[in-house]
Amino acid sequence: MKKTKKKTVIIAIISVVIILALGVSAFFIIKSMNHKEEQADSNGVVGKISADWNTGLDESKKSTESSSSGTQIPGYGTAEMKAGDTQLHLSIGNPKENNCGFYATLQLEDGTVLYKSELLKPGYGLTEVPLQQTLKKGTYDAEVFYECVTLDGEQSPLNSAKSKFKLVVN
C-alpha cells in the first residue's frame, strides 16, 4: 500500500512538471510568433535590405522637379527609441529615382558608428536598423552619412551627403 501511494505521488509530480514545461513552451512559441508578426508590419526585417523599400513618403505628392534634379537623399527630423534597444525604426535607403548606389552610415555627431550598410541600389533600403551598440536615455545629435557611388563594377565615389536629425532615447 505504501509503495502504491509513493508511486502515485511520484507520477503526479512528474505529470505536473511535464504540464508546466508544455505550458511554458507554448507561451514562448506563441510570443515568438506574435513578435514575428509585429516585425512584418513594419515594412522591413531588422537588418535585412529590401528591394521594395518603402520611403514612407506619399509618392503621388512628389513634384517632377525634385525627381529630375539630381540625386535624392532621404531626410529626417527626429527618431525615437527606447534605452537599451538594439534596433532603431528609421527608414534608410536609396530612392528608386536615383541612378547611383549608396553606402549609408548611421552615426552620432561625435563619430560613434551605430550602423553601416552594404551597397544600397536604387529602390533598396531598410526600415528596421540593427545597432552596433545600445544607447542610454537622452537626446543625441545623429546623422545618416550617405556615400554615393557609381553602379558599375568599380563603384567609383561620386558625392556624399549628411542627413542630420535628433535621436531621442527614452
Cα Rg of the chain (Å, integer): 24
CA angle, 131 as apex, 129 and 137 as ends, to 5°? 110
Contact of 119 with 103, CB cutoff 8 Å: yes
- The pTM (predicted TM-score) of the whole model is 0.65
Residue 60 pLDDT exceeds 70: no
Q: How far apart are CA 162 and CA 147, in angstroms?
A: 9
Q: Tens digits of per-residue pLDDT, 108-139?
A: 999 999 999 999 999 999 989 999 999 999 99
The dihedrals phi and psi of 27, each to the nearest 5 degrees, come to -60, -50
Task: Quickly state the pLDDT bin for 69 (edges 50, 70, 90).
Answer: low
Q: Can you state the percent helix, strand and coil of the chain, rounding each to 5?
A: 25, 35, 40
Residue 15 is predicted with a pLDDT of 87
Q: What is the mean pLDDT of residues 55-83?
A: 68
Q: What is the mean pLDDT of residues 81-87?
A: 95
* 129, β-bridge pairs: 88
Query: Rounded mean pLDDT of the chain?
Result: 82
Cα separations in angstroms, 169 against 7, 82, 137, 166 = 57, 5, 5, 10
Q: Alpha helix locations (H) across 41-146?
A: 64-67
Higher pLDDT, 152 or 54: 152
Residue 7 is predicted with a pLDDT of 85
**Using DSSP, how many helices (H) and how many strands (E) does the chain show?**
2, 7
Residue 62 pLDDT exceeds 50: no
Check: CATH 3.60.20.30 for 71-169? Answer: no
Q: Tens digits of per-residue pLDDT, 7-42?
A: 888 888 998 888 888 887 777 777 666 644 443 433
How many other CB atoms sit within 10 Å of the CB of residue 121? 17
Contact of 92 with 117, CB cutoff 8 Å: yes
Higher pLDDT, 3 or 133: 133
Contact of 103 with 147, CB cutoff 8 Å: yes
- The fraction of the chain above a pLDDT of 90, given in percent, is 54
